[in-house]
């Protein structure tokens, strides 16, 4: 069973000592995989797309997170690229053509290998969703990116003799986000697995109280609210559900 743990690089800045979280605070016995959040899609000095760090001390934190393998050698550490505040513009542009996708993948492989990561997680929020700034064409662009990522990672493993890098994606669970942005058969074919983002289902933007990771609907919820929970989302996302060995909640 896969158990993914997320380390967020901004947790180091929390002023409350009880809330501040550092790599050494991770209990590796709870995790099979750690996702380091986040890196960003950007252009390098040569004008080509690549991944870049957010924090000034990310390189140091990379080493400290990956160093946890000392306590659990089977642990895998993936670099997550994107996130909510990242936006969609760089993803839209990077994924637009085979040339720009190829640049990104070539440079990203070098970055992952340099720092000792075991794979890459796409956290594009969200392809195909207009109010997030992604047009309908980006659904196909994301599918092309996913496919080319896997094929490029496989070629890298063959060429170098190293273990293949893992390719995953963290995806929204609302049915309209799934329909707008994800070609699920392609994702199931080329990703090692998909992470369903079953959190932030309720929050401060609403005028009522709801659990942000609700598993089931409450008995007093109306028909619309009753759809905002993990079980309903997974029932709707039948194609993700049909590939349960490739889906993490």
Residue count of the chain = 249
Least Cα distance to 194 among 78, 109, 58, 106 occurs for: 78
Strand spans (E) along 156-219:
166-171, 193-196
Q: Where are the beta strands (DSSP E) in the chain?
A: 4-8, 33-43, 49-53, 76-82, 119-123, 166-171, 193-196, 247-248
Question: Is 125 a catalytic site residue?
Answer: yes
Helix axes 98-115, 138-160, angle to 10 degrees: 50
Decide: 203 and 155 in contact? Cβ < 8 Å: no
Q: Which of 119, 45, 27, 123 is nearest to 83 (CA)?
A: 123
Q: Which of 48, 55, 93, 125 is catalytic?
A: 125
CA dist., res. 54 & res. 126, Å (int): 20
Distance CA 38, CA 49 (A): 16
Catalytic residues: 125
């Amino acid at each position: 069973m896969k158990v993914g743990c997320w380390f967020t690089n901004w947790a180091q800045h929390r002023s409350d000592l009880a809330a501040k979280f550092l790599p050494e605070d991770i209990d590796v016995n709870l995790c099979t995989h750690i996702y380091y959040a986040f890196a960003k899609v950007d252009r390098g000095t040569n004008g080509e797309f690549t991944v870049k760090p957010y924090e000034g001390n990310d390189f140091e934190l990379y080493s400290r997170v990956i160093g946890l393998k000392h306590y659990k050698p089977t642990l895998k550490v993936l670099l997550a690229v994107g996130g909510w505040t990242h936006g969609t513009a760089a993803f839209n542009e990077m994924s637009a053509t085979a040339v720009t996708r190829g640049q990104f993948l070539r440079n990203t492989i070098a970055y992952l290998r340099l720092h000792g990561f075991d794979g890459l997680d796409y956290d594009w929020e969200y392809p195909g969703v207009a109010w997030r700034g992604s047009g309908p064409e980006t659904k196909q662009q994301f599918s092309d990116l996913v496919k080319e990522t896997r094929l490029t990672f496989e070629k890298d493993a063959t060429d170098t003799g190293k273990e293949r890098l893992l390719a995953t994606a963290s995806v929204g669970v609302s049915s309209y986000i799934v329909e707008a942005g994800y070609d699920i058969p392609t994702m199931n074919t080329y990703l090692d697995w998909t992470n369903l983002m079953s959190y932030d289902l309720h929050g401060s933007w609403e005028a009522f109280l709801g659990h942000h990771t609700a598993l089931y609907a409450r008995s007093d919820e109306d028909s619309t609210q009753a759809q905002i929970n993990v079980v309903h989302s997974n029932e709707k996302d039948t194609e993700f559900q049909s590939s349960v060995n490739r889906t993490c909640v």
